[in-house]
Every structure is written in structure tokens, then in C-alpha cells.
Amino acid sequence: MVRIFFFLFLWCTQCIAQNYSFIPKEFTEIKDKDFFKIASSDTLKLVKVYLEKFFVNESKKQFYIVYKELSEIERKQQAIEQKVEITNNRKKYKLQEGTVLKELNFKDNNGNSFTLDSLKGKVIVLNFWFTTCRPCVEEIPDLNRIQEKFKEKEVVFLAVTFDSKKKLEEFVKKKPFNFTLVPDSMKIIRQFYVNSYPTTILIDKDRKIHLIDDLLVFDLMNKIEKMIKNYL
């Protein structure tokens, strides 16, 4: 698909979009779930402080992304709505707290392949993030501290992202991230119905899923650490 991003997209960290008169009439607005089906992974720059509007021209396979800056009240409301949506999706597809994970396949940034069987007997910590997500980057030092504390234990720490291998390699040169990096992973992101970043999920040794609520839990790192200890 051809990707067209005009100045508004390039300035998305600064702009406030109030009307969309600049969108050509042949473009129609679509829902985010439909956009995710057609967008390539490097266009998915979801951050909590912006509301995305998507417009597509089906005939030319082009789209616009408009970012509207949210107020503090709108951000809190969005967080609540996202929590409800995520919960409903996971219930619908039976990806709930305590359910057993049936499949997990991925390659890390070094090309090593992993499956559920290869990780048998280990606690798996999945951190969903991306390199330009400020809250994700801000929690990396704390995540590194937890990884260091449990590095001799039967725990695998995975940093799952839609970012490319090259982008991750450039990022960690400036900001070390001691998790196993898993690039180009929209399949896993969709598998766990992640649409808020950062998100952390724990898989225990019996392959049961434990959801760590990053939207409403304030003492998140202590909760992650406590859960790892509980399931070792």
C-alpha cells in the first residue's frame, strides 16, 4: 500500500486537529480496527496523548492519519474505554485471566526462533512497546532492573514490538533494553489484543495468562516483580 503522510502527520507531536477540510473528498473515515488491517507496522505510532482519525481512499490504496491532542479528561476517559474494549475482546476470544495459552511462535532480533515448547518450564514476561512511545521508553530502566534481579531464574523477558529489527538496533545503541527484543511482531500483538502501550502480560509455567493492567495500576513495577515471584 502507498503511504501518504502530509505535514499534519509529520507534526503530529505538536498539532491539534479540529477539522478535516484538507482531506480530499474521495477519502472516507474508517475505524481504527479496519486501519490496522491495511497499515504496515512502521505506521502504527499509537500514543496515549493523541486520538487518531483514519481516512482511506480505497481506489488508490492511500490513507491519511490525523492526530488530535487530547485533554487530561479525554485521556482518562480513553484509558477507561480502552480497558473495557480490551477486556471485551479478550473475553470474546477466550484470552482471559487464567486461560491457557495454546501457541506462541516468534523470532528475536538475532534470528533465534522460540516456541511455547522451547520455553517450557519458564515464566514468560511479555512487554508490548515501541521505540517512539514515551511511556514505554520511560519504564525501560525499571524493567531492566527487574530483568537483572531475575536473570538467574527461570524467567524469560520479551520486548515485543511492531518496530523493525533495524530500528531496534539503532534504539538500543542509545537506550539499552535488556529484554529479548522481538521485532516485526504484529502477529503477537494481535494475538493478545494489545491496543494500548506499554502493556505487560505474564505467562506462568503452566502456560496460564496473567494480565497486568497498565492503565489503572500505579505501582506497576512492584506488581510485575511480585507476580514473577509468585509463579516461579
- Go through the domains of the chain in sequence order and give each one's CATH number: 7-69 (no CATH), 89-231 (3.40.30.10)
Task: Name the β-bridge partners of 209.
Answer: 203
Q: Is the peptide bond before 198 cis (omega within 30 degrees of 0)?
A: yes
Strands (E), the chain: 28-30, 50-57, 62-69, 105-107, 113-115, 123-128, 155-160, 180-182, 199-203, 209-212
Distances (CA, A) of 32 to 51, 67, 175: 10, 12, 30
One digit per residue, the tens of pLDDT, for the chain of length 232 reads 333 333 333 333 333 334 566 666 766 776 655 655 555 444 444 434 456 666 677 675 666 666 666 677 877 776 677 667 766 766 665 566 788 999 999 999 999 999 999 999 999 999 999 998 888 898 999 999 999 999 999 999 999 999 999 999 999 999 999 999 999 999 999 888 887 788 899 999 999 999 776 544 557 888 899 999 999 9
**Strand 155-160 relative to strand 123-128, pairing:** parallel
pTM assigned to the model: 0.65
* Rounded Cα gap, residues 227 and 193, in angstroms: 21
